[in-house]
Amino acid sequence: MPQSGSASESEPRSVVIIGAGVIGLTIAHVLSTRFQGGVKITIVARDMPDDLTSQAFASPWAGANWSPFGYEEKSYKRELKTFNRFWDMQSTGLVHVVPYRIFVPDEPTDSDTRPYFKDLVRNFRPLSQEELPEGMKAGVIFDTITVNPEEYLPWLKSQLSTFGVAFVRRKLHTLDDAADLVGVKGVIINATALGARSLVGVEDKMVYPIRGQTIIAHAPEIKECVALPLEGAGGDVTYMIPRPSPHGHVLVGGTYQKNNWDTSVDFDTAQRMWNTLLKFVPTLKSNNTKVICHNVGLRPAREGGPRIELELVTFPLRRDFMHGSANDRPTYKMPVIHAYGFGGAGYQGSWGAAEEVADIFKDVYNNA
Q: Binding site for FAD, residues?
A: 192
CB-CB contact of 201 with 317 (8 Å) = yes
CB-CB contact of 315 with 187 (8 Å) = no
Q: Residues near 180 by Cβ (< 8 Å), separated by ≥ 6?
A: none
CA angle 252, 253, 258 (to 5 degrees): 160
Known binding positions for D-dopa: 239, 299, 344
Residue 187: C-alpha distances to residues 35, 184, 317, 320 (Å): 14, 8, 16, 26
**Distance, CA of 185 to CA of 191 (rounded, Å):** 20
Maximum pairwise Cα distance, the chain? 74
CB-CB contact of 252 with 286 (8 Å) = no
Residues 122, 80, 118, 282, CA torsion sign: positive
CB-CB contact of 286 with 219 (8 Å) = yes
Burial class of 311 by CB neighbour count within 10 A (0 to 12, 13 to 18, 19+): middle
DSSP state of 133: P
C-alpha closest to that of 314 among 342, 297, 335: 335
Known binding positions: 192, 239, 299, 344
Element (DSSP H or E) covering residue 281: none
CB-CB contact of 279 with 133 (8 Å) = yes
**Distance, CA of 70 to CA of 84 (rounded, Å):** 19
Q: Residues near 14 by Cβ (< 8 Å), separated by ≥ 6?
A: 39, 40, 42, 182, 183, 185, 186, 187
In this structure, the dihedral spanned by the alpha carbons of residues 129, 135, 141 and 145, taken in order and rounded to 10 degrees, is -170
Question: Any bridge partners for residue 263, and if so which?
Answer: none
**Distance, CA of 243 to CA of 335 (rounded, Å):** 39
